[in-house]
Amino acid sequence: MVTFKGKPIHLTGSPLALHAKAPEFTLVDKDLNDRHLAEFHGKKKLFSTVPSLDTGVCSTMTKHMNELAKKHPNQLFLTISADLPFAQKRFCEQESVRNVLTLSMMRNKDFGKAYGLLVQDGPLAGLLARSVFILDEKDCVIYVELVPEITQEPNYQMFQKFL
């Protein structure tokens, strides 16, 4: 169950299970280019999903991921949100986030549905729940954390051992 400020919210689908093959996606980068999971095949990947980079917790989480990415240069760190690419680009420039690739669901919500993270109801309907997924080089899920309360950060210590 996921909550927002203590109130239950519903998500579309179910989060990916451990060892599941991650579904293909099409998301948009800061230069308005479509990006696909297949492009990143062969690299270990950490996906962090956030409702919006314009909130304090999402900003803090993304900056933390940026610092982790500096320490793990052979792995790919992606932050995915419903923010427009222009807002993501502005955030990264203002906050000096250079080690994380930000991707947007601007063109469709398929990623959120396929990964079981699209919020269905409440004030955050249409945004993504907060989560961390780690995929191996073959795009299989090796770590999943669906943060139970959207206003809280993930358990950074738990997933760092998978990097």
Give the distance from CA 124 to its chain's centroid: 15
Q: Coil, strand or helix: which one is 94?
A: helix
Task: Say which CATH number the domain at 121 has.
Answer: 3.40.30.10
Residue 58 bears catalytic tag? yes
For residue 115, the enclosing domain spans 2-12+21-160
Neighbours of 155 (CB within 10 A): 11
Confidence (pTM): 0.95
pLDDT tens, N- to C-terminus, the chain (163 residues): 899 999 999 999 888 999 999 999 999 999 999 999 999 999 999 999 999 999 999 999 999 999 999 999 999 999 999 999 999 999 999 999 999 999 999 999 999 999 999 999 999 999 999 999 999 999 999 999 999 999 999 999 999 889 8
H helices of 11-155, where? 56-71, 85-95, 110-114
Q: Which of 16, 46, 58, 61 is catalytic?
A: 58
Spatial separation of the C-alpha atoms in residues 27 and 10, rounded to whole Å: 23
Count up the domains in the chain and report the number: 1
The set of residues, in sequence order, having a beta carbon less than 8 Å from that of 157 and lying 6+ positions away, is none
